[in-house]
Amino acid sequence: MLQEISFVKLSPTQNMTILVTSMHKEEDYAPIASKLMSYDSVYAEQVGFVKMAAHPDAAAALDMAGGEFCGNACMALAALTARQQSMEYGDFTTIHLAASGTDQLISCLVQKTDKDDFFCKLRMPVPWNIDARTLKHEGNDYTVGLVQYSNYLHLVLEVKQFTASLKRMAENLARMLEITSSYSLIGVLLFRPDFNELLPLMHVTSLDTLVWERGCGSGTASVGAYAAWKNNSVFEAPIQQPGGIIRVSANGRNHKNAGVSISGNVCIVAEGKAYINL
């Protein structure tokens, strides 16, 4: 059956994100997302569905196709919502959102920097547990930070350099964890702490997607939360990723009560209709 999909495509640090603005059944989210993400369609790294918010303080609600939480998609929706307001260049506004993968309202400070460009600072969900383990690979020991949330897991793998062997290992690890856990999203984050450089792999289990993202907001937050926890201090840094820089601020002295925030640029790159067969 041919379906018409209204969408907006946005670029938060080149983590290309499609926000579907037309209404669809939840059971159709996964097949719609798989079609839209494909090379012969709109093409992106992830898809979210915009809904009316049930919470009275939320301007909008976002459901990711796999039910996961996504920081970059929340920044994208905050930018899209801010565009609907009468903002002059340099103006600020605060957008509150409801989002899948967390029961917390998400707050985003948005500044208009150009016609369809915005700077966003997003307060992120705080991990409910952080731990560290040692992983052996090809005779080498690697420190791995386990950053756990209510329905997703990030592994921060500290490395000296990004290699094809480590990327294969990360992909195998994500697949293995899918079998042994019930998380909606599993992220393996190759992180070079000497350079604050991140290469993020995201595996949405319900969609069976395995994507090396060009920028990852939630992964950046996990790197910051892990580094702050590890050093029992405040961690603030620009995290370099293939698509650009996302900044993170985290307090590790009491991570369950402290805030974690990320900030970066979002631009609106396309808007229109897509036609797919379900």
Taking only the tens place, the pLDDT of each residue in 15-57 is: 999 999 999 999 999 999 999 999 999 999 999 999 999 999 9
Question: What is the 8-class DSSP label of residue 75?
Answer: H
Task: Give the CATH class of 129-262.
Answer: alpha beta
CB neighbour burial string for 180-194, b if at least 16 within 10 angstroms, e if fewer: eeebbbbbbbbbebe
Residues 6+ apart with CB under 8 A from 24: 3, 5, 32, 49
Residues of the chain with CATH 3.10.310.10: 2-124+265-277
Query: What is the Cα–Cα distance from 35 to 38, expressed in whole angstroms?
Result: 5
Contact 152, 185 (CB under 8 A): yes
pLDDT of residue 262: 98
- How far CA 184 is from CA of 67, 68, 75, 179, 193, in Å, comes to 7, 6, 20, 12, 27
Give the N- to C-terminal CA distance of the chain in Å, as an integer.
5
CATH for 2-124+265-277, options being 1.10.3720.10, 3.30.465.10, 3.40.50.150, 3.10.310.10? 3.10.310.10
pLDDT at 224: 96
The CA-atom distances, in angstroms, between 49 and each of 78, 121, 252 are 13, 21, 33
Taking the C-alpha atoms of residue 6 and residue 183, their distance in angstroms, rounded to an integer, is 29
253-264 tens-digit pLDDT: 654 546 899 999
Helix/strand/coil percent split, the chain, to 5: 20, 45, 35
Q: What is the pLDDT of residue 214?
A: 97
Residue 95 makes CB contacts below 8 A (sequence gap 6+) with 59, 60, 77, 78, 81, 82, 107, 108, 110
* pTM score: 0.93
Intervals of the chain under pLDDT 50: 255, 257
Cβ-proximal residues to 15 (8 Å cutoff; 6+ apart), any chain: 45, 46, 72, 213, 214, 215, 216, 217, 243
Note the pLDDT tens digit of each residue in 112-129.
999 899 999 999 998 989
